[in-house]
A = this chain, B = another copy of it.
Amino acid sequence: MLRPASAPAGVPDTRSPLLGEASAAETFRLADPALPHVSVRDLGITRGDGVFEGISAVRGRPQALDAHLRRLASSAAALDLPEPDLDAWRAAILAVCAALAAHPQIAVKAVYTRGVEGAGVPTGWVHGLPATDFRGLRISGIAVVTLDRGYRHDVAQTSPWLLQGAKTLSYAVNTAAMREAKRRGADDVVFVSSDGIVLEGPTSSVLLRRGNALLTPGTGLAILEGTTQGTVFDFARGRGLRTGFELSTVADLHSADAAWLLSSVRHAVPITAIDGIPKGVDRTLTDEINVHLAQVAE
């Protein structure tokens, strides 16, 4: 059983005998985030061999926590990591949120690695920080570029060892794509499969509005299940909008009535340009979604 450690910023489980024998109430411990906690031999750092979740908490209450925990377990399964003890992770995440509850919004990261090479025991921790204030960005929006992800849209089915659809620590390509966007004068990226299908952002889901319908690239694609996208779909159905999954091309992205990138901490950010071509913003719906996301806490 994993015993994640937790803190206002976190600490890995060092698997000391004390922790190994700890009672259920002692599955994690708080630690000073200013100190180093990770071994240079942890496979999380030497191989990016682990998974994570980024979770938003509003006034100390984590959002879509069940969805994040489910996805953590799903990502871990994709990497053949031992099944995470979700009760222990939940307790650690709640402890970090409680410690930072004075902040209006916090960004929590839960990291679960294969552990020190040769030890055969995973490492885990939860770390929290006051969130960047994205309220301005949710109004001003972002310019995106479309970038080839290099994989076919169906690669998760044909080649599961490529780990598409798992939220792994191996995110160097995602950060490189963001740098490429900046080089092109844009703010963010929409990845496109080698066969031309819109996938997701490096750290976000893509949402489109087409008339009365809110659409997102389908499950079964080589993409992550969006936790925020799930919350937005629940909201949209309650408001009488149709929701669904759609295989979209870049042309479909351009022709949509409005488009957003959705992510846990940044919430819904309207896309104002795609590859330099301006895109209209649905200000009313953007505001409604973000008001909803700022309130929801499970």
Interface 0/1 of A137-180, CB less than 8 Å to B: 00000000001111110010011111100001111111111011
Which one, B43, B111, B179, contacts A40 given CB within 8 A? B111
Q: When A37-B39, A39-B36, A80-B179 are in contact, do A45 and B44 touch as well, CB less than 8 Å?
A: yes
Which residues 158-207 of A have a CB within 8 angstroms of B? 158-163, 168-177, 179-180, 194
Q: How far is the CB of A176 from chain B (nearest CB, A)?
A: 4
A266 at the interface (CB under 8 A from B): no
Which residues 68-82 of A have a CB within 8 angstroms of B? 79-80
Q: How far is the CB of A109 from chain B (nearest CB, A)?
A: 7
Q: How far is the CB of A92 from chain B (nearest CB, A)?
A: 13
A130 at the interface (CB under 8 A from B): no
Is B148 a contact of A158 with CB atoms below 8 Å?
Answer: yes
In the assembled complex, the Cα of A79 lies from the Cα of B173 at a distance in Å of 9
Tally of contact residues, A, Cβ under 8 A: 57
Residues of chain B within 8 A (CB-CB) of A12 are 36, 40
Residues of chain B within 8 A (CB-CB) of A65 are none
Which one, B149, B170, B179, contacts A172 given CB within 8 A? B170
Of the candidate stretches A21-29, A46-54, A248-256, A277-285, the one touching chain B is A46-54
Is A49 a contact of B175 with CB atoms below 8 Å?
Answer: yes
In the assembled complex, the Cα of A96 lies from the Cα of B175 at a distance in Å of 31
In the assembled complex, the Cα of A168 lies from the Cα of B38 at a distance in Å of 19
A41 at the interface (CB under 8 A from B): yes
A interface residues with partner B (beta carbon < 8 Å): 9-12, 14, 33, 35-50, 52, 79-80, 109, 111, 113-114, 125, 127, 147-152, 155, 158-163, 168-177, 179-180, 194
Interface pairs (12), CB distance under 8 Å: A9-B41, A14-B36, A33-B41, A37-B40, A47-B174, A47-B175, A49-B171, A50-B172, A79-B176, A150-B150, A150-B162, A151-B194
* Additional pairs, 18, CB under 8 Å, beyond known A79-B172, A79-B176: A9-B40, A10-B40, A12-B40, A33-B39, A36-B38, A38-B40, A46-B109, A48-B168, A80-B179, A147-B159, A150-B150, A150-B155, A150-B162, A160-B176, A160-B180, A170-B170, A170-B171, A170-B173
